Structure 1
């Protein structure tokens, strides 16, 4: 009797229970689920086998994910890491033309930090500039510095004269405007006029204006060659006196006479500053040659009265003779003699003359070009520079040594930055007009060259240098590691296939092995192909965040 009663109750229960739909017919729980990957959290930990579920632009679950995604990605055999952060980008102007940043995405980059030369608009227009980027749409997350030199130029122009007290206060006001709009700090490029005319004391007072907004002082130092150590000391002093973090752009020991000797001393200086509580760190790119304009081959005094006066001097034979004597004399206070530091004109290679007359000499040294035309190398360089105006003729300077690159790269406080912009047109040179392979290969090369081909870094540390560490430096607390609730910026790559392919002879070739890239939960690279998605965000500094919250 009892058995019959229980059977009847069970039958009644089944009769009123809803019929469960087959698992395959259930509505997806997530937007995307990445299955079976080697999940590396970005904090330096080893990988674990796990799934990653994404919903509404954020990481919803990590582990064994039972729910389905609208899109399922099988990452078996691949690494799943946070999206890679480019700590020294040059895309501020280019993203207004093309928000796709295809060359960045295809090397795994999801976030770029720009602004070595400041913003492409004046301080008063930065809010509108950010809104323009967000409205047009960008594929990468974008943050930028404003420039201390830019602020100075907005007030007093490009001459060497120091600002008056009233002008200095006007410059500081520009900084406050930029910081309130959302810039991340102040940058300088003290190797280039008119930035080179700014004194340490002047810079301290300008940078102080960014301190209430937790600004970072980021600098292309006054000297990266013979005066490298003094340049580092000045950068540290500015940050220490102004009460802000210090970021040293593209750390290098660019001085051939002391290859292998200066970088250990530079590392020691920075480590000592950190030990006493100065928040100083650095970024670097992964190549033994720099790229910049040919104008840097002329001494600083040429530019003291502005560009127009400099052009007149560069055309004057008597002035050129004085300039050549300075070149031959080697290092001088206030000017990085990059020709001497590289080891001579045979180590300065023409990259982009912006002039058909010189186009056939691309990727030849200035020494070789001079020999071919039967002229002095300095005259050839300055003629190419003048004949490119108003564009900027650029060159590659082979002035670094792999021993020094390895020494710097091993430091835990060094992150990775390309010093290159997004390409206005994919497959063409970047927005700087500089055909340097770092624009297409830098992030991938960090792993391909310095983990795979030679064991300078572990894979875990290489990923950390491009994810959690730069995110921590920049205060990006919603991304940079794989954690539930954080923004879903993710790079998925095949370690065995990963290779950077760009070279200085073929600088616009993207890496292989980076199969999927997500920005804020949307696929921007799908099966190795760039999509049309534009999910990038403008990343703003502390004062803009406070203003938004209020």
Structure 2
């Protein structure tokens, strides 16, 4: 064959091969992905150092990580920003507000894509949980949401607000209610043991009801019985419930609210939890990153006075003899009651946040000691008169924790992050609790802006792990918490240089800065810090739910 003929054959062959390839990938091909995030510093959530990579998303899940040549219907340039798995709020209070405001603007504004609620249980009885979940799914929600069921929700239908222990038959009825809740998709059983009537439940009762949740693979999560001088004993009780009930234990909002114990008790808590873990107890804790807590002002009243409910409490507060006894117990203590006044260092450390009474609104932001002086009353009387006059739960801020203890607890590898705050009914408003606390708008951002960038308590990678892969692993949230091909594409994109929680005790509903984009299940929900109106969130049912509903 001549050289000319050979060249002609080669040219024909090349043309035959090249032509169909060009047809397969024309310049005007449709986008290959739903979203492509380009050029970001990708933090996988597992604690690894960041890498510069593109992240492609298709059908709600991560499809490719690395160099992505295909286009996305939506393209996000994350150059100079960090791309993290969406942040998880391990102690949320949004259960009752999501049916009314599914957008959860304050949650998304601080990078939260998934929230686990239910310290006080579900907002409906056990038998109504399926319909509640169905409503959330039908109307749509902007964040992923799961919830616990409270032991108190099993107790009150059987015992009312009585302080007595259940008999054997009553206990079985309580266990049956918990069984219904677990099969409906609750994530486990909670308690809030400083608040009546939850505080009336003893360890034996808790362990017996917890066994039901444990049979379905659920958790025992607790606002423990004391967070002050008796915090170590309260942690031990929670661990005992988990051991006897056969289920993992989550300590809600870990803290030491006792000034004499600052710098000492947190180490004892650590040793107690790590000793339990060493013998095989699956126990861990979550926390918020503020030195003040927030709860109802009625928490300043010993537990026995609450028996029978709010009307009974107000009747007792009207009695001078009862008031005298209550004031004495502020000094002597009272069985089954955590003295939160002592924890706050006295009435000066308690600030009125929401009086639920227009006549007393002028006192918002003032300490109870100052309010009492202005009214010419004893501080206890001033506080309890506010409780009696409030049309709803009167809320207060309690300054009772030490900064070094927060930093110590953040370093524990088994702590995750929970805000103890709910979604607001509208952007810029206080959360559903009616408690204007900066944790509602700034908690998760503050973990990074204050404790990574400013105080260098944590590395960025470790802080992100505590808000992503660790809580997802902890809660058995399959396919979440890490940027990994096949996982659900929950994403928070932030600018570390400008990240700022901004909310303060004086301006608690100020939105943070530095969160640029948030995606939930592959859908952009926050774009340049603005809510898009999208509602791609999923209901996260617990392990007891039927497989078709999980």
TM-score range, shorter chain: over 0.9
The residue correspondences of 1:190-209 to structure 2 (distance < 5 A) are 190-209=193-212
The structural deviation recorded for 1:447 is: 0.3
Alignment check: 8 A CA contact 1:221 1:232 kept: yes
1:247 match = 250
Find the residue that maps to 1:382 and give its secondary structure.
helix
Alignment check: 8 A CA contact 2:302 2:334 kept: no
Whether 2:163 is the aligned partner of 1:136: answer no
Relative to structure 1, the CA distance from residue 22 to residue 60 in structure 2 (aligned partners, 3 Å threshold; closer, same or farther) is closer
Relative to structure 1, the CA distance from residue 259 to residue 12 in structure 2 (aligned partners, 3 Å threshold; closer, same or farther) is closer
CA–CA distance in structure 2, aligned partners of residues 155 and 521 of structure 1: 44
The structural deviation recorded for 1:2 is: 3.6
Alignment check: 8 A CA contact 1:257 1:341 kept: no
The residue correspondences of 1:487-526 to structure 2 (distance < 5 A) are 487-526=488-527
CA–CA distance in structure 2, aligned partners of residues 122 and 484 of structure 1: 38
1:54 match = 57
Whether 2:28 is the aligned partner of 1:28: answer no
Equivalent residue for 2:105, pick from 95, 102, 113: 102
Alignment check: 8 A CA contact 2:111 2:444 kept: yes
The structural deviation recorded for 1:175 is: 0.6
CA–CA distance in structure 2, aligned partners of residues 472 and 9 of structure 1: 58
The structural deviation recorded for 1:14 is: 2.7
CA–CA distance in structure 1, aligned partners of residues 300 and 325 of structure 2: 13
Whether 2:332 is the aligned partner of 1:341: answer no
2:362 match = 360
Structure 1: give runs of 5+ residues left out of the alignment.
Answer: none
CA deviation digits over 1:187-233, x for unaligned, max 9? 00010000000010000000001112111000000111121111001
The structural deviation recorded for 1:159 is: 1.3
Find the residue that maps to 1:191 and give its secondary structure.
coil
Find the residue that maps to 1:511 and give its secondary structure.
coil
Matched pairs, number: 547
The structural deviation recorded for 1:155 is: 2.0
CA deviation digits over 1:479-528, x for unaligned, max 9? 00110000000100000110100001100011111101000000000111
Alignment check: 8 A CA contact 1:122 1:154 kept: no
CA–CA distance in structure 2, aligned partners of residues 318 and 333 of structure 1: 19
Find the residue that maps to 1:544 and give its secondary structure.
coil
CA deviation digits over 1:347-390, x for unaligned, max 9? 0000011111111111110000111111111111111111113x
The structural deviation recorded for 1:22 is: 7.4
CA–CA distance in structure 1, aligned partners of residues 110 and 73 of structure 2: 26
RMSD: 1.4
Alignment check: 8 A CA contact 1:351 1:362 kept: yes
Alignment check: 8 A CA contact 1:81 1:492 kept: yes
CA–CA distance in structure 1, aligned partners of residues 11 and 540 of structure 2: 59
2:72 match = 69
The residue correspondences of 1:55-454 to structure 2 (distance < 5 A) are 55-329=58-332, 331-389=333-391, 391-454=392-455
CA–CA distance in structure 1, aligned partners of residues 282 and 529 of structure 2: 38
Higher mean C-alpha deviation, range 143-152 or range 298-307: 298-307
Higher mean C-alpha deviation, range 530-539 or range 306-315: 306-315
CA–CA distance in structure 2, aligned partners of residues 159 and 425 of structure 1: 37
TM-score by length of 1: 0.97
CA deviation digits over 1:214-265, x for unaligned, max 9? 1100000011112111100100000001100000000000012222111111
CA–CA distance in structure 2, aligned partners of residues 96 and 120 of structure 1: 10
The structural deviation recorded for 1:8 is: 5.0
Find the residue that maps to 1:125 and give its secondary structure.
helix
The structural deviation recorded for 1:305 is: 3.3
The structural deviation recorded for 1:130 is: 0.3
CA–CA distance in structure 1, aligned partners of residues 334 and 4 of structure 2: 102
The residue correspondences of 1:468-547 to structure 2 (distance < 5 A) are 468-546=469-547
Alignment check: 8 A CA contact 2:220 2:249 kept: yes
CA deviation digits over 1:408-458, x for unaligned, max 9? 111000000000000001100000000000000000000011011101111
Find the residue that maps to 1:447 and give its secondary structure.
helix
Find the residue that maps to 1:542 and give its secondary structure.
coil
CA–CA distance in structure 1, aligned partners of residues 86 and 198 of structure 2: 33
Find the residue that maps to 1:463 and give its secondary structure.
helix
TM-score by length of 2: 0.97
Find the residue that maps to 1:88 and give its secondary structure.
strand
The structural deviation recorded for 1:328 is: 2.5
The structural deviation recorded for 1:168 is: 0.8
The structural deviation recorded for 1:545 is: 4.5
CA deviation digits over 1:285-314, x for unaligned, max 9? 010000000111011110133332221101
Whether 2:64 is the aligned partner of 1:41: answer no
The structural deviation recorded for 1:15 is: 6.6
CA–CA distance in structure 2, aligned partners of residues 306 and 531 of structure 1: 43
CA–CA distance in structure 1, aligned partners of residues 464 and 27 of structure 2: 36
Relative to structure 1, the CA distance from residue 508 to residue 422 in structure 2 (aligned partners, 3 Å threshold; closer, same or farther) is same
